[in-house]
Copies of this chain bind each other. A is one copy, B any other.
Amino acid sequence: MSAPAKLPTEPKSLRVGCIGGGQLGRMMALEAPRLNIQMSFLDPSGENCPAAAVAGKTSTVLKGGLNDENMLRELAKSCDVVTCEIEHIGTDVLEKMEQEGVNVQPSGRVVKIIQDKFAQKEHFAKHGIPLPPYVNIPSADAIRDAASKFGLPLMLKSRLGAYDGRGNAVLKDTSDTSISAALESLGIKSEDGKDLPLYAEGWINFHSEVAVMVVRSSNGETSAYPAVTAIQTDSICRVVLAPARGVPIELRQKCEDIASKAIKALGDGASGVFGVELFIAENDGKLDVLLNEVAPRPHNTGHYTQDACAVSQFENHLRAVCGLPLGDTNLAVGAAAMVNVLGAKSGTVEDTMKGSNAALSMSRATVHWYGKEGCRAGRKMGHINLTADSHGELDKSLSELLKLEDISESVIPGGLGSSPLVGIIMGSQSDLPTMQAAVEIMKEFNIPYEVDIVSAHRTPDKLCSYSRSAASRGLQVIIAGAGGAAHLPGMVAAMTPLPVVGVPIKTSTLNGQDSLLSIVQMPRGIPVATVAIGNAMNAGLLAVRSLCGSRPELRQKMEAYQVEMKRKVDQMSESLTALGSDKFLDGMENKSTAVNV
């Protein structure tokens, strides 16, 4: 391990040259000045590229092809480190330059492995990374072999130059016409004596797609951002949800582990941020993780890090390629969503900006516009990040944005509004009249909640699945009501890390004393927060109080609620002193007012 790296000490003394000047380069350039790093760019559009507009007056922006040897050498001349924001670049030239002493991060060798998606697969397979079944397709005949081996439908993929879904074709049958059509859609012509630049993948039972940004420093330090749900429509990334929704926490951890292992397996020169796309496959109800593909650069599925993490993927990419210590990759917020802004169908800028303009007025929303010259339907023009304390609290803004961006709500795993913060459960429907008081508190404080019947003794399997999945579904508190041998709250508490509030239901035999003692007398290690017999209202208030910790506005509401309680008692007191106790009591009997429990 080399000595700890330090920030460059003279203004502009660390110069990073980036191959490509699109939105990814632009967003790197916006982070670089804080770290005393100056960026230069090589892009076919030269000074018209998105990065040029933010590159700073003294930086170099070169116009040229990304595999043009002269221009790559020109870029390297003005820089201390050369990196890239796109993988379709001249890796042979880069490897030559590296031999001559140029500092290229990630190295040409690593980018080359990733460029050829079949070579990528072979590399990862060799290192024990789980992959969907795949096979090389050197000839049209091999397609039929693959179909008989993996079954239909079969996924045909271009080895080179794939981007945003271009380069994939689904083959539904193996007729000559279907095969020709697939090859044509991939732009591939069979030339005599030449291998097809193609491979095939077996169909998997797709549950969802997950992405993990892995950052690896040129000195070997590696860190992974949390696994997120990546949602594509027409093979283009549209929405990202962080952390991944509807994916159990162990599986998220597994995604992060596999992603980190894959990047480490790329070996020396694997530095910078890597976008790792993974499939969650579902077989016989069991979920498993397979690596899809890797990009050697910041990635669309990592844009959420700009507003959800202390250090974004762009800053960490720069830190990594410069050999600086890596920054914090944990979420600094409870949940985040990213929505891509694509050029509207009409192609007009006005239509395209509807979502971004609405986002200006949303709480905890940030607009990231790429400044591209020329808007056309489907082009990535910008993105919007939302953050909140939990997924449930994101959904209102997210729903509005999906509408404006013409994205169907059905793409959200589990659907919108499926991420309640508080779960209210009870052993029997006969408990509902008591438990409804907790529901009323949720409504009053505007907290997303769910209500269900879970019986410890009659539905023990549901008890387990509910308790085990509660935290990964986004619940933050569980309120459980039960009577008699009231095992529900304690059994739930045994199977979740969440705080569980127990409501002892009043019983006809022992007036709820049985319920109370069953719920409160838990053994050491597994706590249940027990409230008074039948007092589900207090259970609701307890849930609200424990949600206040990270929600200052909710705490203010709770304080106002307490002031209001005081006001009501003051009113009673005024009325009592004014009327005297006799008259006041008459009034109470008539109205049968319950002053208190």
Chain B residue numbers with a CB within 8 Å of A559 are 249, 497
Q: Which of A203-211, A329-337, A577-585 contacts B (4 or more CB under 8 A)?
A: A329-337
Chain A positions 328 through 346: 1 when the CB is less than 8 Å from some CB of chain B, otherwise 0: 1011111000000000000
A154 to B334, CA, bound (A): 50
A33 B38 Cβ-Cβ under 8 A: no
Chain B residue numbers with a CB within 8 Å of A327 are 360, 365-366
Chain A positions 477 through 516: 1 when the CB is less than 8 Å from some CB of chain B, otherwise 0: 1000000000000000000011101000000000000001
Chain B residue numbers with a CB within 8 Å of A38 are 53
Chain B residue numbers with a CB within 8 Å of A476 are 549
A542 to B477, CA, bound (A): 11
With A311-B366, A545-B498, A555-B497 known to touch, is A523 a contact of B596 (CB < 8 Å)?
A: yes
B6, B56, B471, B531: the one within 8 Å of A522 (CB): B531
Chain B residue numbers with a CB within 8 Å of A546 are 477, 499, 546, 549
Asked if A142 is an interface residue, CB under 8 A from chain B, the answer is no
Chain A positions 512 through 547: 1 when the CB is less than 8 Å from some CB of chain B, otherwise 0: 000010001111111111111101011101100111
B529 A542 Cβ-Cβ under 8 A: yes
A549 B550 Cβ-Cβ under 8 A: yes
A54 B56 Cβ-Cβ under 8 A: yes
Q: Which of A232-240, A278-286, A369-377 contacts B (4 or more CB under 8 A)?
A: A369-377
With A520-B530, A520-B531, A524-B537 known to touch, is A34 a contact of B367 (CB < 8 Å)?
A: yes
Asked if A349 is an interface residue, CB under 8 A from chain B, the answer is yes
With A56-B54, A330-B552, A369-B33 known to touch, is A357 a contact of B6 (CB < 8 Å)?
A: yes
With A529-B531, A553-B330 known to touch, is A307 a contact of B307 (CB < 8 Å)?
A: no
A326 to B135, CA, bound (A): 54
Asked if A168 is an interface residue, CB under 8 A from chain B, the answer is no
A26 B33 Cβ-Cβ under 8 A: yes
B7 A356 Cβ-Cβ under 8 A: yes
B366, B538, B548, B555: the one within 8 Å of A524 (CB): B538
Chain B residue numbers with a CB within 8 Å of A54 are 33, 54, 56
Asked if A433 is an interface residue, CB under 8 A from chain B, the answer is no
Asked if A187 is an interface residue, CB under 8 A from chain B, the answer is no
Asked if A363 is an interface residue, CB under 8 A from chain B, the answer is yes
Given A328-B363, A521-B532, A529-B530, 5 additional A-B pairs, CB 8 A: A47-B58, A327-B360, A330-B553, A477-B549, A546-B546
A529 to B226, CA, bound (A): 33
Asked if A1 is an interface residue, CB under 8 A from chain B, the answer is no
Asked if A12 is an interface residue, CB under 8 A from chain B, the answer is yes
